[in-house]
Amino acid sequence: METPAKKAIGQPLSRVEAAAKVTGSARYAADYHFTNMAHGIAVTSAVTKGHILSIDSKAAEAVPGVLCVLSHLNAPPVPGYMSNPGSAIPVFAGKEFKPFLDNEIHFNSQPVALVIAETLEQAEYAASLVSIQYQREEHHTEMRENLSNAFTPEKGTDYTRGEPDAWKNAPVTIEQEYQTPLQVHNPMEPHATTAYWEGDDKLFIFNKSQGVKTTRQQFAKYFNLKEENVKVFAPYVGGAFGSSSRMWPQEMMAVLGAKKTGRPVQVALQRGQVFNMVGYRPYSIQKYAIGAQADGTLVGIGHQAYGSTSQYEQFMERILDPTKSMYACPNVHTQYKLVPLDMSTPCPARGPGETSGSFAMESAMDELAYALEMDPLELRLKNFAEQDPLKNLPWSSNYVKECYEKGAEKFGWKNRNPVPRSMRNGDMLVGWGMSTGIYKAERAPASASVMMKANGDVLIRCSVADTGPGSITIMTQIAADVLGIPVERVNIAWADADFPMAPPQYGSHTTASTGSAVYDAAMALKKKFIDISGSGDEVPNYVAILQKQQLPQLEATAESKPGPEIEKYSGKSFSVHFVEVQVHPLTCEARVIRVVSAIDAGRVMNIKTARSQVLGAVTWGIGIALMEEGIVDHRYGRYVNHNLADYHVPVHADTPVIDALFIDKPDPVLDPMGAKGLGEVGLIGLTAAIANAVYHATGKRVRSLPITPDKLL
């Protein structure tokens, strides 16, 4: 029997793909170059609503190197356009946007043509020469002006437990409105697709995608292809966070362009185009009411939310979920309505729904604490839910009380003077705020294969994507620990649609889902070795057994899915954020100086990548709270800040000292590793903690994000 290797799970292992990324050998969707490849540039609409009357492409077609100008007038037929296969993502319903289907304009900067040329520069120049005439129609892009058009989604979301208006009868009540603006993902890597056909029935797609299996299924449906004849690859993704969770126009444009020209075609969206074509966090208007007894015991909550969507598709998000489950409140009523606008469809953005919903919930809890003259931390402890009040089930695990304790101790919360404008650092106003976050922790079916080679190296195969959180690194750690071998002997091949099925990487369930499949496949492989060796050893000498059996390799594939026991529990991850801000008393500029985030995400798989996830979440949270806002000139329905100069995001100078604390206790129910979701929960609640700290510093409550100086003057 070999000596077991040191445990890999939990160790700060550097990402297995790190060297490829920093040396430039990692190939992203726009880094593929094939013989005879052409480039496509999208021509976008100059109106927000209406119809195309004519397209004059003669000048563009006359440019040297231009192969064709693709539009609804000459695009190859797409059989699935007629049958409307719908989206593979459950949160979407209705009609997807279909590039070049017809002459209808649904939103400003909608792709209406694709110029395909030998070089990128030729395509860019020719695209500027395409002349389009439109029939304009009245458009509506301002949310508040269109609240009268709000409707209940097809999947109704109203929820009541106890008495709907019980909060009104409580001794202490808060009733306020909170708003969050449109926010754009703006990943470092713009969305891109490179595609080519082999004959009429075999399609190759090199894509920016969070789920290659989803992309395969969609294109197989659209073109009536066998799924195995659609080859999809997305090994490297330069930021996604929800923006690559479904099919977007550049994918279909590249595929149609390749079909039209008979050549590989690459379509990379320009920076401004990612504001319109690949989703965004929608506007929200939330009316929040909360009532409590004098001792802080919650009596009732009312949460009414409005979210924006497109005119042609319903996008729903879990904006109400934190309110339903976070606190022990006997009377809760929530209502969610969609407001259709003449804009493209929103999509999940990190912490989809919960990020916006928790801003209202945790701001209202802070306002209630002040009304009660009670410490905000004490108020939350007072209303700790011993089990999930929504499902009336015990938690699979819940260590949020330890998050409160460890976070408060690290931050020094006990030293806080509760009176607004009472703390200073020199001339600067100092504010301390806190909040709680909650996000679903669940598991989806997944498969993986694990192969032991004759030299002792191991290869994992799985179609899982890795958009940056370090998932493929964690898979190698899981396999190494199960097999009892050094993690350096484990390799992984991923993000190929031909590999065993993995769900798309979103919803903070990759480790629990795909990790469980890797775990089960490695267990199955180890059992195979034990069975053929007959030794009964826990850690067999794999190489010796292969040599003895004259086997070049041995492989096991496992399909993993949650068992019935998971239905008996409610799985959630939790976070508690403590924030210090400083606000200039004259200019009213607010800066985040210090953040302590305590996280209950089950067993930590890799402390380095886990901490990195929290750092990223906090940085994005600072952007959402203080800077980010997609600004639309509603006269034209067009963005005015569709670039990285005018759409403000945090830079290094805006990033404070961030302490990420992990409870690191295994969840005994959700999966065999004891992990819970981590990627989303580090962001949820953070914007409210910042807003609460700003109130403590200034005495002024800002209920509409972002908190810019003009709102504090």
Domain harbouring 266, CATH code? 3.90.1170.50
How high is the pLDDT of residue 436?
Answer: 98
* Shared-domain flag, residues 424 and 548: no
Residue 305, in any domain of the structure: no
Report whether pLDDT(2) > 60.
no
Domain shared by 582 and 554, yes or no:
no
State which residues form the domain around 48. 32-138+188-240+244-277
Of 179, 98, 103, 112, nearest in space to 142 by CA? 179
Q: Is the pTM of this model over 0.95?
A: yes
Share of the chain above pLDDT 70, in %: 97
In the predicted model, is pLDDT for residue 294 greater than 80? Answer: yes
The predicted pLDDT at position 92 comes to: 54
As a whole number of angstroms, the distance between CA 230 and CA 499 comes to 12
Tens of pLDDT, residues 379-400: 999 999 999 999 999 999 999 9
Average pLDDT over the chain reads 95
Of the candidates 674, 621, 663, the residue with the CA atom closest to the CA atom of residue 441: 674
**Model confidence pLDDT, tens digit, residues 690-702:** 999 999 999 999 9
Whether residues 121 and 253 share a domain: the answer is: yes
- Residues with Cβ within 8 Å of 549's Cβ and at least 6 positions away in sequence, in order, are 532
> Are 557 and 509 in a shared domain?
yes
Average pLDDT rounded to a whole number, residues 96-115: 96
Contacts of 432 (CB under 8 A, 6+ apart): 411, 413, 416, 423, 578, 579, 580, 693, 696
Alpha carbon of residue 323 to chain centroid: 20
Residue 146 pLDDT more than 90?
Answer: yes
- pLDDT at residue 88 in the model: 47
189-199 burial: b if 16+ Cβ within 10 Å, else e: bbbbbbbbbee
**Catalytic: which of 96, 251, 354, 680?**
680
Ranking 136-140, 243-247, 488-492, 683-687 by mean pLDDT, the lowest is: 243-247
For residue 239, what pLDDT band results from cuts at 50, 70 and 90?
confident
The rounded distance, in Å, linking the Cα atoms of 572 and 400 is 10
Tell me, yes or no, whether 375 and 451 share the same domain: no
Could you report the per-residue pLDDT of 590-636, keeping only the tens digit for each? 999 999 999 999 999 999 999 999 999 999 999 999 999 999 999 99
Report the pLDDT value the prediction gives residue 91, as an integer from 0 to 100: 47
- Partners of 353 in beta bridges: none
Same domain, 428 and 450: no
Q: Is 680 among the residues known to form the active site?
A: yes
pLDDT confidence of residue 540:
84
**One domain, residues 353 and 461:** no
Same domain, residue pair 460 and 606? no
> Would residue 667 count as lying in a domain?
yes
Q: Which strands make up the sheet holding 332-341, listed edge to edge?
A: 159-161, 332-341, 298-310, 284-292, 172-180
In a domain, 263, yes or no: yes
Q: Is residue 385 part of a domain?
A: yes
- Work out the pLDDT band at 82, boundaries 50, 70, 90: confident
In a domain, 219, yes or no: yes
Check residue 157 and give its pLDDT: 76
Task: Give yes or no for a contact between 57 and 266, defined as CB atoms under 8 angstroms apart.
Answer: no
Averaged pLDDT, 182-196: 95
Single residue among 277, 302, 325 that ends a domain in this structure: 277
Output phi, psi for 285, to 5 deg.
-125, 125
Asked if residue 463 has pLDDT above 60, the reply is: yes
557 & 449 share domain: yes
3-state per-residue secondary structure call for 352-405: CCHHHHHHHHHHHHHHHHHHHCCCHHHHHHHCECCCECCCCECECCCCHHHHHH
With 50 as the cut, is the pLDDT of residue 470 above it?
yes
pLDDT at 85: 54
pLDDT greater than 80 at residue 89 = no
Q: Binning pLDDT at 50, 70 and 90, where does residue 645 land? A: very high
In a domain, 688, yes or no: yes
Residues 58-66, mean pLDDT to the nearest whole number = 98
Query: Is the same domain home to 256 and 389?
Result: no
In a domain, 178, yes or no: no
Average pLDDT value for residue range 450-471: 96
Looking at the fold, whether 267 and 233 belong to one and the same domain comes out as: yes
Pair type for strands 230-233 and 202-207: parallel
- CATH number of the domain enclosing 459: 3.30.365.10
The verdict on residue 643 lying in a domain is: yes
Last residue of one domain, picked from the residues 505, 531, 561: 561
Same domain, 467 and 547: yes
Distances (CA, A) of 117 to 260, 266, 268, 271: 12, 10, 13, 20
| Mean pLDDT to the nearest integer, 150-154 | 92
Tally of structural domains, the chain: 3
Domain end point (choices 498, 526, 561): 561
654-678 mean pLDDT: 97
